[in-house]
Amino acid sequence: MTTENQYPTIHTIGLSTTYTANLIEFHSTSEANFVYAFNNAMARKHRRKNFIKTIHDLHPVLLAIANTNIQLTNLQSSWLPDYKIQTFSINLPKLCLDIEFKIGDLTVTGNYETNNLKLRNVLPVTNTGTVTVNYLNAELKGRVGLLIEGDSFMPENFDVEYSKEKSEVIVSYYVDKDTKVENQVTAEQEEQIIADKIWIQLTEEITNILRETLREVIVEFSVEESLGNEDELLREYVVSQTRKANALFDVLLCSAKDHLVESKLQILETPGFEVLYKGKPSSTITGIFDSGRGLIKDLSSLSRLSDLSLFEDEHQLLVYGTLTIRDFRHDYENFSTTFDGNHLTGSLKAQIYELKIFVKLSFDRNEEKNGKAKVEKLEVRSLRGIHVDTSGLGSLSWLIPNTQSWLIGHLRATTLDILLKRIESVFSYATNNELKKSQAQYPEGENSRQFWRNIFSKN
């Protein structure tokens, strides 16, 4: 439980009207320099396109729609970073960049395989081919939190949204070895499940590339020189706002983790998956793999990954940054598979070494309404370093790479959504629970009320 003496002391400082005016004057002189440097960085990447990474590998996706399984594998996007600036403005009083970029058209290619589980003993048909997904006129816009490290500004927390005009899913396969068949589905506003699942991964990659590119550009500008040796107050302000953001988030995170443990929610049960497979492409024998139910453990290892950003105006307060699960394990303890008369059971155990989840919380600053809080956004921003241990396959050991691909594909298509909903639920509980403490009329709640008064105070 969050006890009264666990509330951190918050000391906030404000910026004078004169100093704020000086910062705004800095904006007009420095934005052009930042834009020039960023465009130069883009030009350098294009000149060096043969020496930088332009092929971006994505995870497989395993979907179950009605009785049909869809496996998407070998997914790749060939993309040379090309962010065309529409808006790039510095807002030092709010410690952020406001950005808007046109990205253009994006393409992902790969292989697909579909089969019908219900028909496996009646008409065991498998369809395979290639898939191409086009995203037309993609854009991103949003806010990037700024910190200061040493003598450099550091873009750290990316609160960005992506949009696209429409998506196209094109599949092609061969009939009679020589006849190529191609089909296309185009979607604008309505849901296109295959395009949407891949889009999530693609935007993760684009955000991470943007983060690296912005860092390369912005760290070259000296804070001290840029502000004409009037940087000390801004540094103190950054420290103050960062501590305020971290303190607020840590109180809520502690409350969320308490709720996970007390309500026995720290272990999350996830749905399993069934897959049909063949030993070889030319094989006529079909096997079936049933993962059984899965478990994610332990959600009580939720942690703040880095300093958070704070944005506040007259009406609201936003805190945003990155979460992780320090010990992220996803296990299927009892899979079963049948192939050519062999029936085997075993387990799949996955360890995920890098998980970054972007989180944004909003609070109403109106004192009459400051019980109103919301989890605005939860998004996976990075999922890497996945190690899967498969045991129990015995004579079917050749199936191990497939089981690893299926687990990752199911994680991407289904499990992560369930995980995010659980995290959203416990954070919603934590924010409302902590705010209620500040509204209670009892002497022991004074520390809570003082904490929230400091949070909502206007600098």
Model pLDDT, residue 244: 94
Mean pLDDT, the chain, whole residue set: 89
190: pLDDT strictly greater than 70: no
Instruction: State the maximum Cα–Cα separation within the chain, in Å, rounded to a whole number.
Output: 82
Secondary structure of the chain in HEC code, one letter for each residue: CCCHHHCCCCCCCCCCHHHHHHHHHHHHHHHHHHHHHHHHHHHHHHHCCCCCCCEEECCCEEEEECCEEEEEEEEEEECCCCCEEEEEEEEHHHCEEEEEEEEEEEEEEEEEEEEECCCCCCCCCEEEEEEEEEEEEEEEEEEEEEEEECCEEEEEEEEEEEECCEEEEEEEEEECCCEEEEEEEEECCCCCHHHHHHHHHHHHHHHHHHHHHHHHHHCCCEHHHHCCCCCHHHHHHHHHHHHHHHHHHHHHHHHHHHHHHHCCCCCEEECCCEEEEECCCCCCCEEEEECCCEEEECHHHEEECCCCEEEECCCEEEEEEEEEECCEEEEEEEEEEEECCEEEEEEEEEEEEEEEEEEEEEEECCCCCCCCEEEEEEEEEEEEEEEEEEECCHHHHHHHHHHHHHHHHHHHHHHHHHHHHHHHHHHHHHHHHHHHHHHCCCHHHHHHHHHHHHHHCCC
Model pLDDT, residue 3: 47
Higher pLDDT residue, 46 or 266? 266
The mean per-residue pLDDT over the stretch 64-79 comes to: 92
* pLDDT per position as a tens digit, 18-40: 888 888 888 777 888 899 999 99
The mean per-residue pLDDT over the stretch 95-113 comes to: 96
Q: How confident is the model at residue 450 (pLDDT cuts 50, 70, 90)?
A: confident
* pLDDT per position as a tens digit, 397-432: 999 999 999 999 999 999 999 999 999 999 999 998
pTM beyond 0.75, yes or no: yes
Lowest mean pLDDT segment, chosen from 67-81, 252-266, 437-451: 437-451
Model pLDDT, residue 177: 72
54: pLDDT strictly greater than 90: no
* pLDDT per position as a tens digit, 273-317: 999 998 776 667 889 999 999 999 889 999 999 999 999 988 889
364: pLDDT strictly greater than 90: no
Q: How confident is the model at residue 9 (pLDDT cuts 50, 70, 90)?
A: confident
Task: Give every CB contact of residue 374 below 8 A, 6+ residues apart in sequence.
Answer: 361, 362, 428, 431
Model pLDDT, residue 130: 95
Model pLDDT, residue 4: 45
346: pLDDT strictly greater than 80: yes
Q: Which of 304, 324, 322 is nearest to 253 (CA)?
A: 304
